[in-house]
């Protein structure tokens, strides 16, 4: 499944109305740790059809980042049923990201 680029315009439909858990990667192009996490998130998107995987460029979507209280990047969140259920700040290994997803199934 492809990674969805979130904006404030598509956030409600893609995340809050999703019928499965949503993993969101808050990142910036200039952020070194974000560049390490990004291919992992892309890989998970390709492997898992039971979740939705999205990314938010915090430089382009400051309003969305602020609504989640993102002050450090990368920040990963899992939304399920329209509610924030998991949250992690900083570069995470694939196993930790998968653990975040397992907790909501």
Q: Which residues are catalytic?
A: 31, 34
Q: How many helices (H) and strands (E) does the chain have?
A: 4, 5
Q: Could you tell me if 49 and 101 are in contact, meaning their C-beta atoms sit under 8 angstroms apart?
A: no
Q: How far apart are CA 34 and CA 17, in angstroms?
A: 27
Q: Name, in order, each residue with C-beta under 8 angstroms of 74's C-beta and a sequence gap of 6 or more.
A: 25, 26, 27, 31, 33, 34, 37, 89, 90, 91, 92
As given in the structure block, the two tokens for residue 91 are: 């570069």
């Amino acid at each position: 499944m492809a990674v969805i680029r979130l904006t404030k315009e598509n956030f409600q439909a893609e995340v809050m109305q999703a019928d499965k858990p949503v993993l969101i990667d808050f990142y910036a192009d200039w952020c070194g740790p974000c560049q390490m996490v990004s291919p992992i998130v892309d890989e998970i998107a390709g492997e898992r059809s039971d979740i939705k995987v999205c990314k938010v460029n915090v430089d382009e979507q400051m309003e969305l980042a602020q609504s989640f209280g993102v002050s450090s990047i990368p920040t990963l969140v899992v939304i399920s049923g329209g509610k924030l259920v998991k949250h992690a700040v900083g570069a995470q290994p694939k196993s930790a990201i998968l653990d975040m997803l397992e907790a909501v199934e």
